[in-house]
């Protein structure tokens, strides 16, 4: 995250965009013209890795306690997990989850979260200035991932701890038996190895807000040596080195180059983090947030490939965008002077506009699926999350739940390289930006899916899609998420205020179809395809 917003901190920014006034504040956009997309089945970017639809669980606020885990809740299972939340997680389509942080991990002792729950120590968490009870730990987390059908991504503490502790944690998790730590896992009720293959080598170690913050040289050496030990213990692990916490960091670029000079041959991924603030003074740029994500990804790819050339390596590094989301930020850190347990922190309420921007960010990740092969929407429950809960009460879907769920369900297959023609609008941050943001996936299910965002908050956008060599074999469907009020949101009182709905199906004629994208909308258009001969 940007240096101005240290460590996921900050009080929730008050909502300034309401109804028609929201549109009035945006720079005047041109009269709508027809946008066009040109498809060709022969030109693809790559296969979508299911890990692109990951999420993130940190011991922050109510993400864990009264979010995922609430033993006294009427819907809790025998492990204390909320089954209503598990059902929503499955519906969301999450494939992988990162744990336990985030900033939390840089002062975390993994040993605190194993063994009998009533014997676990209570600790101060300096990252979020709270009390951590450790009632939910490694065993509970792995039980959660198995109940929800998720692949775990574990982060090791390279802030206050180091190589030895990372090796111990890996041995406890993955070694079958016959050693003190693997047998200790068995004594704790898990005789079979957890088999965790994805590991983050610390978190945001470039950030001065991070406990144990390091220079690029210090971190690069530590990451490389930690990776060597972890591969000695378990050669099957996949390792993620910390990239910059955001493209606005003063060390961006230099950090990546220095870290990779030490660790390129030892790691499989480099991480990226980015959060986008719905700035009420510049809504035009906010709607174009994907422009920043696009530039960030292409810059990091260039840095990785430059390191590859310097190392004369045949390995091409993948990117793990393992923290990304929309976040109403402030420069004030929460909870100063207090040490509460599981307080309500960063519980942003998302609008239609936020859902559309999040959909646009998903489109960007898909457009780079050849290099971005893992990603984590941060976070999963309550903390800037698509799922909200009330202690002892219901769970519900935020507006941002829906674009993620549709992408996770339908974006499985080959991402196509599109040629897009679109009218543009002017933004203070990014200059002229297309009103249409889109991608398309030739699905494993034999269906072509077009994901499209209309950034214009005032006018519909007619879209013509030229199908190239694709031949349809059934009716087209068009789902849209939009609302007359761009500030509309889902709440506990109105949990279904904003949901996707179907529009009239476009008709394919002469190898093309035309659809109308409503103002400020996320659109999913699906076409069953005829079998190739």
Q: Is 36 a catalytic residue?
A: no
Instruction: Identify the active-site residue in 204, 254, 294, 444.
Output: 204
From the candidates 323, 347, 426, 494, give the one annotated as an active-site residue: 323
- Is 192 a known active-site residue? no
> The tokens 């709607």 sit on which residue?
287
Do 474 and 448 touch, CB atoms closer than 8 A?
no
Put residue 150 in one of left, alpha, beta given phi > 0 → left and psi -120 to 50 → alpha: beta
Residue 431 β-bridge partners: 427
Q: How far apart are CA 356 and CA 121, in angstroms?
A: 43
Per DSSP, 451 falls in state: E
Q: How far apart are CA 155 and CA 159, in angstroms?
A: 11
Residues 6+ apart with CB under 8 A from 383: 58, 60, 61, 62, 63, 67, 345, 346, 347
CA neighbor of 463 nearest in space, from 428, 423, 411: 423
Q: What are φ and ψ of residue 387, in 5° steps?
A: -120, 135
Q: Closest Cα partner for 358 from 402, 414, 301, 423?
A: 402
Token output for 87: 């059902």
Stretch (H or E) spanning 294:
helix 289-311
Report the distance separating Cα 482 and Cα 32, nearest Å.
17
Q: Is 21 exposed, middle or buried (0-12, 13-18, 19+ CB in 10 A)?
A: exposed
In the DSSP assignment, the letter for residue 65 is B
For tokens 């002017």, what's the residue? 426
Q: Which residue has the tokens 């040289």?
A: 217
**Residue 234 CB: number of other CB atoms within 10 A?**
18
Which sequence positions are flagged as catalytic? 204, 323
């Amino acid at each position: 995250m940007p240096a101005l917003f240290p460590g996921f901190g900050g009080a929730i920014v008050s909502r300034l965009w309401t109804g028609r006034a929201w549109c009035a504040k945006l720079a005047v956009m041109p009269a709508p013209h027809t946008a066009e997309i040109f498809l060709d089945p022969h030109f693809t970017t790559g296969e979508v890795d299911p890990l692109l639809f990951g999420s993130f669980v940190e011991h922050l606020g109510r993400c864990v306690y009264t979010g995922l885990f609430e033993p006294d809740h009427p819907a809790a299972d025998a492990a204390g997990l909320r089954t209503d939340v598990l059902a929503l997680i499955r519906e969301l389509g999450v494939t992988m989850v990162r744990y336990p942080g985030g900033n939390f991990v840089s002062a975390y002792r993994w040993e605190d979260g194993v063994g009998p729950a009533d014997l676990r120590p209570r600790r101060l968490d300096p990252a979020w200035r709270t009390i951590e009870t450790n009632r939910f730990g490694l065993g509970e987390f792995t039980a959660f991932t198995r109940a929800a059908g998720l692949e775990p991504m574990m982060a090791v503490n390279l802030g206050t701890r180091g190589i030895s502790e990372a090796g111990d944690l890996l041995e406890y998790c993955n070694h079958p038996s016959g050693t003190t730590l693997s047998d200790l896992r068995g004594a704790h009720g898990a005789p079979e190895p957890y088999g965790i293959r994805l590991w983050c080598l610390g978190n945001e170690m470039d950030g001065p807000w991070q406990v144990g913050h390091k220079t690029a040289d210090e971190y690069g050496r530590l990451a490389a040596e930690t990776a060597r030990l972890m591969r000695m213990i378990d050669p099957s692990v996949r390792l993620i080195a910390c990239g910059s916490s955001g493209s606005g960091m003063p060390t961006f670029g230099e950090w990546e180059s220095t870290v990779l000079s030490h660790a390129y041959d030892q790691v499989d991924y480099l991480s990226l983090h980015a959060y986008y603030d719905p700035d009420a003074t510049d809504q035009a740029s906010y709607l174009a947030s994907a422009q920043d994500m696009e530039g960030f990804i292409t810059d990091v790819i260039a840095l990785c490939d430059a390191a590859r050339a310097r190392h004369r390596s045949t390995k091409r590094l993948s990117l793990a965008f393992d923290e990304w989301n929309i976040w109403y930020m402030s420069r004030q850190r929460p909870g100063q002077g207090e040490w509460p347990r599981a307080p309500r922190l960063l519980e942003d309420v998302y609008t239609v506009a936020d859902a559309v921007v999040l959909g646009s960010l998903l489109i960007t990740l898909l457009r780079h699926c050849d290099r971005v092969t893992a990603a984590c929407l941060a976070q999963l429950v309550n903390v800037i999350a698509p799922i909200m809960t009330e202690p002892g009460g219901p769970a519900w879907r935020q507006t941002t739940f829906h674009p993620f769920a549709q992408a996770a369900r339908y974006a499985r297959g080959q991402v196509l390289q599109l040629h897009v023609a679109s009218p543009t609008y002017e933004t203070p941050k990014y200059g002229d930006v297309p009103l249409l943001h889109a991608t398309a996936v030739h699905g494993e299910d034999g269906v072509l899916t077009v994901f499209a965002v209309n950034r214009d908050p005032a006018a519909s956008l007619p879209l013509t899609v030229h199908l190239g060599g694709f031949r349809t074999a059934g009716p087209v469907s068009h789902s849209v998420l939009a609302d007359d009020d761009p500030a509309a949101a889902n709440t506990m009182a109105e949990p279904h205020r904003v949901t996707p709905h179907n529009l009239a199906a476009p008709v394919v004629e002469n190898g093309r179809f035309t659809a109308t994208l409503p103002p400020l909308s996320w659109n999913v258009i699906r076409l069953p395809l005829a079998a190739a001969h």
